[in-house]
């Protein structure tokens, strides 16, 4: 509430034949003025003209002084206010406490609030309440207690404070409560009533942001927030934690069936397309659930449990809900230990590169190798990527290990040249961190120059997971590398949500058909049809194709019949160290028409 409009410039209250000014003191002529205390007179004049409301009252609770600023603040003239009880400016709900406090002060001879400034609610003449700042003082006149109050309108300050509190607890994009608000709500309820916490992370949101722009991404987040609110209704508390992460708190809920029913409504609510920016956009979500008191009795621990459950749901491919179980906590601790050991493995040179052959199906000649990471653990022996690659990808050393792989693979290829093995192509799997850093072009170019390799000898393999974490900088780096002659292969094609738009966006040279389609290609018509469609699509886009996981002659014949150019798998050899690969090539290559032919296993 802003300042009130002033009444008349001078207001008087008559008490019998005496005239009283706004300060409540009688004006009775020159002789009376001459006899007044000069100091007291100056004080009264100061209060009369002060911009701060000044009100004085006696022990009987009746107002004896009321200046012009009080008129403006409260809407009562001095003539009306003087002689009235202070209750005319005290809201009804606070009057009992005021009366009791006044009685205590009169009895004790001192006021507890004297000398202090407090914010209270006051009552205006129009019946509205307003926040004011009160400074109280107490003194004695002729042995009787008197009370004085200086009051300032703080409606603007109060409004600003409320605005700051709102901003501190509200997400400005979606207008949903934010992380701070969720923390406070959890703190107020956890330990008092059972509750269920759902953490949600949108599947595919980054791709929307990167391809359609941040404005469309922001609009999508707003629409998602609205759909979540509708799905939850009045039964829960919906908050946006940041990015594409949301949270839902169900109070007084320890029923997993109720939580599961809500998760189903959320999945169904997000299923229809979002019509934004002239396009139909589809996103899903993964949900992690933790419940109190069974999972945790502290706010941070409950959030951590829900986050672990969300991580598990994302690890299952997304689009699902997962309840927290203790094994997840154990797994998290194991990941932490593994991450520490991986950092030591790099410095202790425990990583190795092994190489798996790749052949041309037309003549079974060796065309290249794929470099695969191995970890020679001091306690557990040789570990394959399945046991540690997920942790390594998320670790701070991922880019450093990726750089080491590029260097080692190029060095091995240069050694093979010197040994007369032949100009083999070397495939390298990239980490998402290498694409994000902006250093990929420099790292690859430096390694090629250092070891005297032509760019065509190197092929960089990216997966859908890595490209969905790409940036415009990384896309440009891949394009420049392709222009240099470096191959760019899309690994595990067909296993995720990769679309034709992705294939057209990235500067690819090859598709790698995932082993899951190759496994039954000679027995299942559907798998053969998928592989054939991929091969034809790749051909129309000017891309070559290599099939992974080939183990039998029947699979090989099916791939040849469908037009696949290259293959790799146990049929042609398992991954092996560089030295063993040289020996294997020496034993299995035969001279044929001036070239080398790789003998596949029968």
Give the Å distances, CA to CA, from 460 to 152, 393, 497, 534.
71, 16, 21, 20
pLDDT value at residue 35: 52
Interval 167-192 mean pLDDT: 88
Distance, CA of 567 to CA of 549 (rounded, Å):
8
Helices (H), 316-453: 326-347, 389-394, 398-419, 432-437, 440-451
pLDDT value at residue 28: 43
Tell how strand 487-493 and strand 458-462 pair up.
parallel
Q: What share of the chain is helix, strand, coil (3-state, %, to 5)?
A: 45, 25, 30
Cis peptide before 171 (omega within 30 of 0): no
pLDDT digits (tens, 9 = 90+) for 427-469: 999 998 888 878 899 999 999 999 999 999 999 999 866 765 5
Residue 448 or residue 17, greater confidence = 448
pLDDT value at residue 164: 67
pLDDT digits (tens, 9 = 90+) for 194-234: 999 999 999 888 878 877 888 899 999 999 999 999 999 98
Q: Read out DSSP for 506-529?
A: S--SEEEE-HHHHTTTTT-HHHHH
Domain chopping of the chain, boundaries: 13-158, 170-324, 348-508+572-598
Residue 329's pLDDT band (boundaries 50, 70, 90)?
low
pTM, full prediction: 0.53
Residue 88's pLDDT band (boundaries 50, 70, 90)?
very high
In residues, how long is the chain?
Answer: 602
Residue 333's pLDDT band (boundaries 50, 70, 90)?
low
Distance, CA of 551 to CA of 414 (rounded, Å):
29
Residue 426 or residue 9, greater confidence = 426
Distance, CA of 423 to CA of 417 (rounded, Å):
6
pLDDT digits (tens, 9 = 90+) for 382-416: 999 988 888 888 888 999 999 999 999 999 999 99
Distance, CA of 169 to CA of 164 (rounded, Å):
9
Report whether CATH 3.30.420.10 matches the domain 13-158: no
Residue 471's pLDDT band (boundaries 50, 70, 90)?
low
Tell me which H or E stretch contains 538: helix 525-540
Contact between residue 207 and residue 318 where contact means Cβ atoms under 8 Å apart: no
Interval 283-293 mean pLDDT: 93
Report the candidate in 3, 147, 137 with the shortest Cα–Cα distance to residue 86: 147
Top-confidence range, 23-32, 220-229, 305-314, 382-391: 220-229
Average pLDDT, the chain: 84
Residue 503's pLDDT band (boundaries 50, 70, 90)?
confident
Q: Would the CA dihedral through 512, 518, 522, 527 be positive or negative?
A: negative
Residue 373 or residue 114, greater confidence = 373
pLDDT value at residue 599: 52
Q: Residue 13: pLDDT above 60? A: no
In the CATH scheme, what is the code of domain 170-324? 3.30.70.270
pLDDT digits (tens, 9 = 90+) for 538-589: 999 899 999 999 999 999 999 999 999 999 999 999 999 998 888 877 665 4
Tokens of 214: 């941040």
Tell me which H or E stretch contains 483: helix 472-484
Tokens of 131: 């926040």
Contact between residue 270 and residue 262 where contact means Cβ atoms under 8 Å apart: no
Contact between residue 367 and residue 598 where contact means Cβ atoms under 8 Å apart: no
DSSP state of 92: H
In CATH, the architecture of 348-508+572-598 is: Alpha-Beta Barrel (3.20)
Give the Å distances, CA to CA, from 602 to 86, 388, 564, 583.
105, 33, 20, 20
pLDDT value at residue 1: 43
Interval 147-166 mean pLDDT: 77
pLDDT value at residue 27: 44
Distance, CA of 42 to CA of 389 (rounded, Å):
84
Tell me which H or E stretch contains 144: strand 144-153
Q: Residue 417: pLDDT above 90? A: no
pLDDT digits (tens, 9 = 90+) for 111-145: 888 878 888 899 999 999 888 989 999 999 888 99
Q: Residue 30: pLDDT above 50? A: no
Contact between residue 556 and residue 522 where contact means Cβ atoms under 8 Å apart: no
Distance, CA of 324 to CA of 310 (rounded, Å):
8
Interval 11-21 mean pLDDT: 36
Residue 180 or residue 28, greater confidence = 180
pLDDT value at residue 249: 96
Cβ neighbours, 10 Å, residue 564: 25
Q: Residue 592: pLDDT above 60? A: no
Contact between residue 457 and residue 426 where contact means Cβ atoms under 8 Å apart: yes
Q: What percent of the chain has pLDDT over 90?
A: 47
pLDDT value at residue 18: 36
Q: Residue 590: pLDDT above 70? A: no
pLDDT value at residue 394: 81
Distance, CA of 30 to CA of 353 (rounded, Å):
109
Q: Residue 498: pLDDT above 70? A: no
């Amino acid at each position: 509430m802003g300042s009130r409009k002033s009444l008349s410039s001078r207001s008087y209250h008559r008490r019998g034949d005496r005239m009283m000014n706004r300060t409540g003191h009688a004006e009775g002529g020159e002789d009376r003025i001459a006899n007044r205390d000069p100091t007291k007179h100056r004080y009264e004049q100061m209060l009369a003209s002060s911009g701060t409301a000044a009100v004085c009252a006696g022990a009987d609770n009746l107002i004896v002084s009321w200046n012009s600023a009080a008129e403006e603040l409260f809407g009562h003239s001095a003539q009306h206010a003087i002689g009235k009880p202070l209750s005319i400016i005290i809201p009804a709900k606070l009057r009992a406490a005021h009366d009791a406090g006044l009685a205590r002060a009169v009895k004790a001879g001192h006021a507890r609030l004297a000398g202090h400034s407090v914010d209270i609610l006051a009552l205006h003449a129009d019946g509205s309440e307003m926040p004011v700042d009160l400074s109280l003082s107490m003194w004695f006149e002729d042995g009787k207690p008197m009370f004085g109050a200086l009051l300032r309108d703080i409606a603007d300050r109060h409004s600003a404070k409320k605005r700051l509190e709102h901003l501190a607890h509200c997400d400005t994009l979606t207008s949903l409560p934010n992380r701070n608000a969720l923390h406070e709500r959890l703190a107020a309820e956890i330990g008092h009533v059972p509750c269920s916490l759902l953490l949600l992370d949108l599947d595919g949101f980054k791709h929307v942001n990167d391809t359609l722009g941040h404005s469309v991404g922001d609009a999508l987040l707003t629409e998602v927030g609205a759909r979540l609110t509708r799905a939850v209704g009045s039964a829960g508390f919906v908050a946006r934690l940041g990015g594409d992460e949301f949270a839902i708190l169900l109070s007084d809920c320890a029923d997993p069936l109720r939580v599961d029913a809500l998760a189903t409504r959320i999945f169904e609510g997000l299923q229809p397309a979002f019509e934004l920016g002239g396009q139909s956009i589809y996103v899903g979500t993964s949900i992690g659930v933790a419940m109190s008191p069974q999972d945790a009795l502290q706010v941070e621990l409950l959030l951590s449990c829900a986050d672990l459950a969300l991580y598990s749901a994302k690890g299952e491919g997304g689009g699902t809900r997962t309840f927290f179980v203790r094994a997840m906590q154990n797994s998290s601790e194991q990941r932490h230990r593994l991450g520490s050991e991986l950092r030591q493995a790099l410095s202790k040179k425990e990583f190795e590169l092994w190489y798996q052959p790749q052949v041309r199906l037309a003549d079974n000649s060796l065309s290249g190798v794929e470099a695969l990471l191995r970890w020679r653990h001091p306690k557990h022996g040789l570990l394959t990527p399945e046991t540690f690659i997920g942790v390594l990808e998320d670790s701070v050393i991922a880019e450093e290990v990726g750089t080491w792989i590029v260097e080692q693979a190029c060095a091995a290829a240069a050694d093979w040249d010197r040994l007369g093995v032949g100009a083999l192509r070397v495939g390298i799997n990239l980490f998402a961190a290498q694409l994000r850093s902006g250093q990929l072009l420099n790292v690859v170019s430096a390694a090629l120059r250092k070891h005297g390799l032509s760019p065509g000898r190197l092929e960089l393999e990216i997966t859908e997971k890595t490209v969905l974490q790409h940036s415009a900088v990384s896309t440009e780096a891949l394009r420049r590398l392709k222009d240099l002659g470096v191959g760019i292969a899309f690994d595990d094609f067909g296993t995720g949500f990769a679309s034709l738009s992705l294939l057209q966006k990235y500067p690819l040279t090859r598709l790698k058909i995932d082993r899951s389609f190759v496994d039954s290609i000679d027995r299942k018509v559907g798998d053969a049809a998928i592989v054939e469609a991929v091969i034809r699509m790749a051909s129309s886009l000017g891309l070559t194709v290599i099939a992974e996981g080939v183990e039998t002659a029947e699979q090989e014949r099916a791939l040849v019949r469908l037009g696949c150019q290259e293959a790799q798998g146990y049929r042609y050899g398992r991954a092996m160290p560089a030295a063993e690969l040289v020996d294997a090539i020496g034993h299995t290559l035969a001279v044929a028409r001036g070239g080398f032919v790789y003998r596949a296993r029968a």
